Structure formats: C-alpha cells, structure tokens
Structure 1
Amino acid sequence: MFATSIKKIKLPPPSFKGELSVEEAIKKRRSQRSFLDRSLSLSQVSQILWAAQGITEEGGFKRAAPSAGALYPLEIYPVVRNVEELEEGVYHYHPQDHVVSFVLKGNYQDTLAKACLSQSFVAASPLCIVIAAEHERTSIKYGERGIRYVLMEVGHVGGNICLQAVALGLATCPVGAFMDEEVSRVLELPRRHRPLYVLSVGYAS
C-alpha cells in the first residue's frame, strides 16, 4: 500500500525479542558512510521507529527512551528514499498508534544532504531519520534546565536507533553537522519542531 492512498500508514507490529544480544550490538556498532543501493523492508523501518520512540508500556504511554518528566518533546521524521511499501518522501512518526503520516512526496534526501553540508552518504542511504524537538514541552516544567534534558533525550533516542539497526543487520551514521534552518525548510517542519539530529540508515557496503 502506498502512502499517497491514505493519510496514515499502519506499521507492522514491532518484535520484542531479537537474535543479537545488547552486548553484541554495542560491540558491532560503527558509523558507516557507505551504503548499498538496497531497499529496507517496512518491518525494519517499523522496528527502528519503535526503538526510537515506540510505546513500551502495555496500555500506557511510556516510550522506548527515557524522557524528563515523561514529557516527550521529540518528534521523529523518517525521510524515505528506498523502503518497500513506502513511496519516497517525508513522513512523521506517531508513537501512540505506531503509524506514520505522509508529509511530503518525492526524493528529499538529495536536498537534505546539501543541508547536511553536502555529506553524500546522506543522499545515498535508503532512509534518514530526522529527530526534532519541541523544547517548550520540557522547558515549561523545568525552565532553562529543560534544554539540557531535551539534549540528553535525543542522545538516548539516537543510541537506540543505532543499536536497533545493528540488531537488524543494518548500519547507521549519526549526523550533527547540518544547517538547522535549511533542514527545517527542506522538510517543511513546523516552526516549533527544531531539528537536533540526523541519522542515515541502510546496509553497509
């Protein structure tokens, strides 16, 4: 089913048991800047998004990564170039329902790569995950210190993505070098969602 046919796409349910131990995933994790031209499955993308911000509490709202005050200021935007059952484009992940909504149609990884200081592997990977934050969700309770808590949280989420990718036989490259305003412009992010982190995901070449 293609993303243009419906507003939201239900993702396959995540698995709660894998073949690789946490210790093995930590040992194998490396930043990879060269990716095969090979598609990812929708199940792989689903699993990675769940590891990033998925609901881990039966009937509740607690997520895969810790968040100060359980305020969850982060928003996940998958940028798809080559994923089975998803058209190229920009999506928005909704953890509570484990769905993605279609934001923009087309190949946006080339322009995203330019916003990431022309790092070519960003354009070559089948999937990029942009993590943005609405800082006010946290700072309204914690004041200026809330900014620190948001940065801690994005690190937790980035680590989850990297380790889950390894467990799926994939590789990642975290990117911190990008022009914030350009990333926001390219992906047409809401003004309150500020990009903090970009991660390229794919099969290592």
Structure 2
Amino acid sequence: MTRQTLYRRHRDTLVEWGENGKLVLVDCGSWRKFSVKPALLDLLSLLDHPRSARDVHGAWASSSRPEEEVRRLLEQLAGAGIVRRAAPGDGGPAPDAPEAGQPAHGDGTGGGPVSGGAPQSTGWTPYELAVHAQASRSPVPAPRRGDPPPARLLHAEALERIPLPEGVAAPSRPLDQVLADRHSIRQYDSSPVPLPLLAAFFARTARVRGYLPPLKYEQTHRAAPSGGARHSLELYLVARDVAGLAAGAYHYDPFGHALERLAPWDEELADLQRRTLCVPMEQDQLPPASLYLTSCAYRTGWKYEGMTLSLIYRDTGCLMQTLSLVGTDIGLATCLTGRVEAPMTPSFLHPYRDRLIHVGNMALGLPAATPAASRLVPVATTGEPQQP
C-alpha cells in the first residue's frame, strides 16, 4: 500500500501587507518573503493540521485545479518551506523520504519533521521569531529621519516637583561581594524606605552624567549601557511607604535628579503593584515601593529602525542588572518581574500611551529582619546538583 504524504502549514509563517497593498508571506525563520494571491491563502488556511493532497483537493473550494496539480503545488510549497511534510506525531503516517539533491527536513530550514516524529517545539511564537530575525538584519537603510527625539522627558502636568538630596553617603562594598550577595528578595521589612536611600539608588543607576557629542544627536552617558547611547528607558516610582515622600506615582527626571509627582496613592496604584509584582512574585503583601519601567521607543527607533524592540529589550536587561546590583550594594531589597502590560494601564500615563511602552518592574523595600531561608542547592564538581 502506497504511503500518503501529509502536508501542514509551517508554524513560523506570517502574512503581512507588502508594497502597493499586496499580501506577502513571511518565513520568520529565514526572513524570506513571497508574494501570495488570495487563492493561495485559502489553501494555506486548510493546512492548520496535516492533510493529504486528495483531502486538500476536495476541501479547496476556491480552486478547480486537478488533484495532481494540487499535489505538485503542495510539493512546491514544501520545497520553499511554506508548508512542511507532516510527521507521524502530527497525526498521520510518516512522510516520504526527501528527493535526491534535496535537504533532509528537520534541519531548521522549515521543511519538515525533526527526529522523533512530531514537529519540534521551539518555545516561541512566530511573532517572537520575526522580531529576532528582523533585528539580525541590522537597521533599515537611511534611518534618522528628521530631528532626533529629545533625550529628556518632562511631565508638564506634574502636580509637584521634588528635588532629591545630593551626595547621599549610602554604603558601598567591593564589586565581587555585591555580585556574590545579589539575589531576589520578595519579603520586606515593615519600615518605610528612607528617601535619601532612594535618592542614592536613582543617582547611581539612572542619573545622566552628561551629553555625548555631537549634541544634535541627543546622546547621553549614564551608568547602564544603551545601544547608540539612545537611553530610551524612563523610570516611574510607585511609592506606597517611603519616609519623607507622599504616597503616589512619580517620574524620575535623570537630568535634574528630581521626582515629578503624577498621581496620589489610590486603589489603582495598589492594583498595579498586585498585577505587575505580587502575582508574579507569588506574594500577598504589597512592596513599600516599586519601579514601573517604560521605554520612549522612538528614541531608539530614530537611529535603529528595524531592530528597535530588540535593542530596547537589551537596554532593559542592562538597566535591570544595574538596578539589582546597586540595590544590593546600598542595602535595598529588590525583585524584578517581567510582567508587561500592552497597552499600559496606569491612568497617570494615559497621555503617553502612544509614546511609551512598558518593559518591566522592580519591587523595592528594606530587607525583612528574618528573611526566608535560602533554597540554593550547591553544584557538584560534575556540574550536577549535590545530593543531600
């Protein structure tokens, strides 16, 4: 009995609008693009699960092609990586062997199954793969259209501007000790966070040290590195219990080393901390303070269009590491979370929803007097966990 070949749409293929409003298929793995007619989209819509050429021929209502022509078309699509020959684990028989001169499928080229039958699960979506593939191709030609966006964001609507104390003599230790001691802390002391300690925290992690020439490019120097010195990240402090500071939401101005008060404390801010911090940290108690990290994306996009989001995520990681290490150094308890809101929900940022994106969070407080016991398991010389 002849074994049938089954076909399935490649999971990493997306549809976008191309030039002149025409539809384009994008292979997110290789970043190849194919012009496509609506009839072909009808065919691909049938291939969300493995189907034989005969089955496709019977179901493809918008086509009058003979079955053999449909089979040849499916083979052409498989050769291009738009569809793949389905594996046994996909719900059908084993695929045909590749023809002479053709690469074996499952090699990452988008052709077919991997060893073991079922399609390989990569753990990411086509959209994530598309962002990564786009970033690998560097910025689009001729970026930097018009004047660069300003490096400083000031909230004209701020209720109050609060200068932070200068030259706070916060504690500091050798870097190797800080690196050894850094860990996430999810439980905090009941005492409020001292404002001078927060001032030192902001000064060491985010304060602008100066402009980099040429000045027209709005490039700044800060503690954490940033692609092209664009520094798109903006820090918002949600203060629940900070000594010397009214509870509420604030923007940190890294140029003037000041806080701009944007909103008083209310249930909305409490709910924001619950969603972005308590839930991912699996804690019930709200932290005394937290950071809501955002990016003014166009600062980076002005220079690096085409790889903007990738750079913003890398910049965020650099800043998060800086925040964690400085927090450890000066005696703050910190915990980062990756819970991101799209679109942003805080009402104090509604006027900026078209300019800012949310990229992360950090809980802040003083360490609890009796911290939770460490669950760290030592590593044996073999690289495996030591057995108790």
Q: Aligned pair 1:134/2:296, yes or no?
A: yes
1:77 corresponds, among 236, 246, 249, to: 236
For 2:339 and 2:230, the matched residues in 1 are separated by 27
Q: Aligned pair 1:195/2:354, yes or no?
A: no
State the partner residue of 1:98: 257
Structure 1 position 117, deviation (Å): 7.3
Residues 37, 125 of structure 1: 8 Å contact kept: no
State the partner residue of 1:89: 248
Residues 15, 47 of structure 1: 8 Å contact kept: yes
Paired residue type of 2:363: S
Give the TM-score, by structure 1 length: 0.86
Paired residue type of 2:206: Q
Paired residue type of 1:32: I
1:8 corresponds, among 161, 165, 187, to: 161
State the partner residue of 1:53: 206
Q: Aligned pair 1:25/2:178, yes or no?
A: yes
Residues 274, 286 of structure 2: 8 Å contact kept: no
Paired residue type of 1:174: L
Identity level (%): 23
For 1:25 and 1:204, the matched residues in 2 are separated by 15
Structure 1 position 51, deviation (Å): 2.8
In terms of fraction of residues, the more helix-rich structure is 1
Please provide the CA RMSD for this pair.
2.5
Q: Aligned pair 1:160/2:313, yes or no?
A: no
Residues 295, 357 of structure 2: 8 Å contact kept: yes
Pick closer, same or farther for the CA change 1:136–1:53 going to 2, 3 Å: same
Unaligned runs of 5+ in 2: 1-158, 214-219, 369-388
Residues paired across the two proteins, number? 198
Unaligned runs of 5+ in 1: 1-5
Residues 134, 193 of structure 1: 8 Å contact kept: yes
Give the TM-score, by structure 2 length: 0.47
Structure 1 position 19, deviation (Å): 2.9
Structure 1 position 197, deviation (Å): 0.8
Pick closer, same or farther for the CA change 1:100–1:121 going to 2, 3 Å: farther
Paired residue type of 2:197: Q
State the partner residue of 2:345: 185
Paired residue type of 2:237: P
State the partner residue of 1:3: none
For 2:171 and 2:278, the matched residues in 1 are separated by 35
Relative to structure 2, which stretch is displaced further, 41-50 or 72-81? Answer: 41-50
2:190 corresponds, among 37, 44, 48, to: 37
